Amino acid sequence: MEPVRHYNNMSDILHFSHANGFPGGSYRQMLGILAEHYDVRVTDRLAHNPLYPVTNNWDQLCNELIHFFEQEYQQPVIAVGHSLGGLLSLMVAVRRPDLIKALVMLDAPALTRLQAGGLKMAKKLGLVDRITPGGRSNGRRAQWSSREEALSYFSAKTLMRGFGPGCLEDYVDAGTEPCGDGVRLRFDPETELSIYRTIPDNIRAKRPLLMPGCVVGGRASKVFKPVNAELMRRRLGMSVRWLPGSHMFPLEHPGKTAEIIHHWLEQAL
């Protein structure tokens, strides 16, 4: 795992893990607000350490996060994660509850039995790109002549049209790097695709978490649905909150997302 960014020196450490393809700096707006209350640390890029390759059901990516927490922190942390980062944070909470003080998942679903079975079968049949964003990621453009061209390109993407003020600029700044002919993506496109193709089919809600947990969903999300929210409330004992927006609501409504996280943590801790 690459270095984390430090936001302040408060006693409670809040470690944020990002969504697939969106380096940690993309969430600067939301995290800047949370940093008024917590010592915010941010993973820059998951899945780019060759010691922890992308494997089926993300076992090594979970180990990457576990080993980082073990090495860097002397206390349990508040683990907050969006999508990929939320599921990995849940996996850590189940395997190593001693490392986590509280868990907040943003639009990251534990699966029903039917969903898990369908995903497992899609993987076996080579059809997983049809039910995940992997199909859209395959062969995506990865280089532009300038930051301005990249900004114009992404502003036209449906996924990013609803981003809040400054969030698209933060994504481009965090997600691209200079290259000989302009700028290119920092999050390797092949790694992004591999992550989608190996999405866990074994994340099931079996027993209550051993720490306070909350899941926040986007009301227009196509990823996190009411059936997942109810499963996680009933089986994992998690609180459920909803916000306007799509799967990308932390970048569409960063202020509201930070507010709901902080408000829940104030009640839970």
- Give first-to-last CA distance, the chain, whole Å: 28
Distance CA(267)–CA(269), nearest Å, equals 6
CB 99 within 8 A of CB 59: no
| Exposed/middle/buried for residue 14 (C-beta within 10 Å: 0-12, 13-18, 19+) | buried
Instruction: Give the model's pLDDT for residue 3.
Output: 44
Q: For domain 4-268, give the CATH number.
A: 3.40.50.1820
Q: Which two tokens stand for residue 131?
A: 């039910």
Bridge partners, 175 (sequence order):
none
Plot region of 243 (φ>0 → left; ψ -120 to 50 → alpha; else → beta): beta
Report residues of the chain scoring pLDDT below 70. Answer: 1-10, 137
Show the DSSP H helices in 126-240 as ranges: 134-137, 147-155, 167-175, 189-197, 226-236
Instruction: Give the model's pLDDT for residue 1.
Output: 52
Instruction: Give the model's pLDDT for residue 214.
Output: 98
Instruction: Give the model's pLDDT for residue 10.
Output: 64
Plot region of 170 (φ>0 → left; ψ -120 to 50 → alpha; else → beta): alpha
Instruction: Give the model's pLDDT for residue 143.
Output: 96
- DSSP states along 43-103: ES-TT--TTS---GGGHHHHHHHHHHHHHH-SS-EEEEEETHHHHHHHHHHHH-GGGEEEE
pTM of the complete model: 0.94
Q: Where are the domains of the chain?
A: 4-268
Q: What is the DSSP letter of 204?
A: B
Instruction: Give the model's pLDDT for residue 75.
Output: 96
